[in-house]
């Protein structure tokens, strides 16, 4: 028998002549191949799959609308992305020490992890803080803790990111107060305050005030920030937590951009010039295991955002059209079993983020399914980024996967599916996406959507439709953990923090504190901006819990429904 070359001119012909005969004999590994989010993946992509994509209109050049290939003309050839390692634990001085270690190791931006009491606007002496002080992040009760956190660090030299939401106004106020103390012009401060309450209602659950007052405070931060800190990102619109709570990549993309659009509507309703605030909005995505799907997600995000800001919101400042984002590798993908394998997972996810054009990156440590990272684990995570940046050479050219039939097709597909969700959310609000968000929160739409995906994902793992190395396949019989974990003596930390609070309350000017707190209350009651009186209270050494307490008194509190 002789093999003759068969003439093939299209995908269908190739399938008929080459694939089908083989399939009849051998078959393939699986009946269907899907991305992690459940999108069908074809055997092969060819020019036919990108026939409806126009290069100039849909892809274009780096730094050129719609920025599919990246927001800047030189990207990593100009400057490597920012290594921004999310870190914080114990007392402010413990975190300060870790920060100095990371900066010495070549980290280029700071990112603060706060403990749960701080994240929830409660002081270390609050009854609900028991067992949690300094445990999952750093404990900050007053401005003096914040000053200790930044000991030896200049606010005019480094950009700082703060992952905090209901009390965002307090921590953001503290950063401004710190600049004042250091004699730094507030106008040059660089950094990011997360300040994204919508994703808290959808997924992350750091919940204090009800939805509308929460958005009112965000509006205050916007209004204050465009004038005071024009180089500071006033929000980090976050898909990370939505994904960690179990969403698919498409849902992460859709809900994050819908949240972003809602914040733009909020700014507009507050009378803020969108051309000015546009460049001060930043994004934060997850990078999970499905390499190409993640890259397509990042590229689609830039395109959707640019079109929204330019065509729908009619902004004219090109800087306002650019979606810039931070990425964190997927914490939920880390396994407790055979933890060193997590270094490999994190590397693949970090590569996807870089090939997707991220502006800054956090790489998770291999021990995080067990505890907060040890010094060594945090260092390996940072080194992973440096190896990608300096050894792999992938940062030598911009958006190298553009033009891949598969990646371009998947990018368009993600865009299309995300827009379907976004349109639905808008419809819920009768055409106003901000109102659609409120309706969605009220009807638990987001919680249900994300919860269904989380459940399906867990079922897929248990049914081995999704293989997790070391968990449901390639397991070890008698595994013992051999990596040393970070130890935190919470009782001791809490004792020290409580002593500090008591000592400060003795020493501070009580009248000034009370008067500042009253001023916050009046501002809230009269619907004025709460930022200026909050900064006054911070400087008077009011505690975070006292300041947030005033807001709770005015606006009430919010609890997540317990629906399943």
Q: Would you tell me which residues interact with another protein (CB under 8 A)?
A: 116-117, 119-120, 122, 127-132, 135-136, 200, 204-207, 244-246, 332, 334-337, 369-372, 451, 454-455, 458, 461-462, 468, 471-472, 475, 479-481, 485, 488, 490-491, 559-562, 564
Q: Are strands 281-287 and 235-238 parallel, antiparallel or unpaired?
A: parallel
Written as one string, the DSSP assignment of 70-92 is: -SSSSHHHHSPPEEEEEE--BSH
For the CB of residue 386, give the shortest distance to another protein in the complex, in Å: 27
450: nearest Cα among 255, 208, 236: 255
Of the candidates 153, 171, 170, 154, the one whose C-alpha atom is nearest the C-alpha of residue 162 is 171
* Distance of closest approach, residue 544 Cβ to another protein, in angstroms: 14
23/128 with CB nearer another protein: 128
Q: Which is nearer to another protein, 187 or 560 (CB)?
A: 560
Which C-beta is closer to another protein: that of 43 or that of 560? 560
Cβ at position 168, least distance to another protein in Å: 16
Q: Return the axis-axis angle of helices 445-462 and 433-442, rounded to nearest 10°.
A: 60
- The residue among 77 and 495 lying less far from another protein, judged by its C-beta, is 495
DSSP letters spanning 141-210: -SHHHHHHHTTT--TTTS-EEE---TTHHHHHHHHHHHHHHHT--GGG--EEE----HHIIIII----S-
3-class state of residue 502 by DSSP: helix
Closer residue to another protein in complex, CB, 201/222:
201
Angle (deg, nearest 10), helices 433-442 and 405-428? 80
Q: Is the peptide bond before 8 cis (omega within 30 degrees of 0)?
A: no
Residue (31 or 477) nearer to another protein, CB: 477
Q: Identify the CA nearest to 239 among candidates 300, 190, 306, 173.
A: 300
228 half-sphere exposure, CB direction, 13 A CA radius: 20
Question: In terms of Cα–Cα distance, which of 329, 321, 240, 333 is closest to 281?
Answer: 321
Query: Are 134 and 175 a contacting pair, CB within 8 Å?
Result: no
Least Å from the CB of residue 329 to another protein: 16
Smaller CB distance to another protein: residue 71 or 117? 117
Q: Report the candidate in 223, 217, 143, 141 with the shortest Cα–Cα distance to residue 179.
A: 143
Cα dihedral 73, 76, 80, 83 sign = positive
- Distance, in Å, from the CA atom of 256 to the CA atom of 238, rounded to the nearest integer, reads 6
R_g over Cα of the chain: 25
**Beta carbon of residue 462, minimum distance to another protein (angstroms, whole number):** 5
Question: Strand 232-233 to strand 191-193: parallel, antiparallel, or no bridges (unpaired)?
Answer: parallel
- Minimum gap (Å) between residue 171 Cβ and another protein: 16
Shortest CB 242 distance to another protein, Å: 11
Nearest approach, Cβ of 530 to another protein (angstroms)?
Answer: 23
d(CA 513, CA 411): 53
CB closer to another protein, 74 vs 489 = 489
Least Å distance between CB 117 and another protein?
Answer: 6
Minimum separation from the CB atom of position 336 to another protein (A): 4
181 vs 336, beta carbon nearer another protein: 336
Quick one: 10 or 458, whose CB is closer to another protein?
Answer: 458
Cβ nearer to another protein, comparing 44 with 481: 481
Smallest distance, another protein to C-beta of residue 458, A: 5
- What distance in Å separates the CA atoms of residue 157 and residue 189, rounded to the nearest whole number? 9
């Amino acid at each position: 028998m002789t093999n003759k070359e068969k003439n093939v001119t299209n995908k269908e012909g190739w399938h008929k002549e080459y694939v089908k005969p083989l399939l009849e004999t051998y078959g393939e590994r699986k009946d269907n191949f899907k991305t992690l989010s459940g999108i069908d993946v074809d055997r092969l992509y060819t020019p036919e799959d990108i026939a409806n994509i126009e290069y100039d209109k849909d892809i274009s050049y780096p730094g050129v609308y719609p920025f599919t290939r990246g927001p800047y003309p030189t990207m990593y050839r100009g400057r490597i992305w920012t290594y921004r390692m999310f870190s914080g634990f114990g007392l402010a001085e413990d975190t300060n020490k870790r920060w100095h270690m990371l900066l010495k190791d070549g980290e280029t931006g700071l990112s603060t992890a706060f403990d749960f009491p701080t994240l929830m606007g409660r002081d270390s002496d609050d009854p609900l803080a028991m067992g949690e002080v300094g445990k999952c992040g750093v404990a900050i009760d007053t401005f003096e803790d914040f000053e200790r956190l930044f000991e030896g660090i200049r606010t005019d030299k480094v950009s700082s990111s703060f992952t905090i939401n209901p009390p965002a106004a307090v921590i953001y106020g503290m950063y401004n107060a710190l600049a004042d103390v250091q004699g730094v012009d507030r106008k040059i401060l660089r950094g990011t305050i997360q300040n994204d309450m919508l994703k808290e209602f959808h997924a992350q659950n750091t919940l204090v005030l009800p939805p509308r007052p929460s958005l009112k405070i965000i509006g205050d931060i916007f209004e204050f920030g465009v004038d005071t800190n024009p180089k500071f990102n006033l929000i980090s619109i976050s898909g990370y937590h939505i994904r960690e709570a179990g969403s698919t990549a498409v849902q992460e993309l859709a809900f994050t951009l819908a949240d972003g659009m809602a914040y733009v509507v909020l700014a507009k309703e507050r009378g803020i010039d969108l051309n000015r605030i546009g460049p001060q909005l930043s994004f934060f995505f997850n990078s999970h295991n499905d390499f190409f799907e993640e890259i397509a997600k990042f590229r689609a995000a830039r395109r959707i955002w640019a079109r929204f800001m330019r065509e729908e919101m009619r902004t004219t400042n090109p800087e306002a059209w650019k979606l810039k984002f931070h990425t964190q590798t997927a914490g939920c993908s880390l396994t407790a079993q055979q933890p060193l394998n997590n270094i490999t997972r994190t590397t693949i996810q970090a590569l996807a983020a870089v090939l997707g054009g991220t502006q800054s990156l956090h790489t998770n440590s291999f021990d995080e399914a067990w505890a907060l990272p040890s010094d060594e684990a945090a260092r390996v995570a940072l080194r992973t980024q440096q190896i990608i940046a300096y050894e792999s050479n992938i940062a030598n050219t911009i958006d190298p996967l553009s033009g891949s039939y598969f990646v371009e097709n998947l990018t368009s597909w993600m865009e299309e599916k995300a827009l379907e969700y976004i349109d639905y959310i808008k419809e819920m609000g009768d055409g106003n996406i901000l109102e659609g968000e409120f309706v969605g929160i009220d009807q638990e739409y987001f919680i249900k959507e994300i919860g269904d995906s989380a459940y399906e994902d867990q079922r897929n793992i248990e049914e081995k439709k999704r293989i997790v190395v070391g968990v449901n396949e390639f397991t070890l019989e008698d595994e013992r953990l051999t990596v040393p974990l970070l130890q935190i003596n919470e009782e001791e930390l809490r004792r020290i923090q409580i002593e500090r609070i008591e000592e400060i309350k003795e020493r501070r000017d009580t009248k000034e504190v009370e008067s500042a707190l009253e001023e916050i209350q009046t501002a809230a009651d009269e619907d004025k901006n709460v930022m200026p009186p909050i900064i006054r209270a911070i400087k008077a050494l009011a505690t975070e819990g006292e300041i947030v307490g005033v807001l709770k008194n005015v606006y009430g509190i919010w609890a997540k429904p317990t629906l399943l």
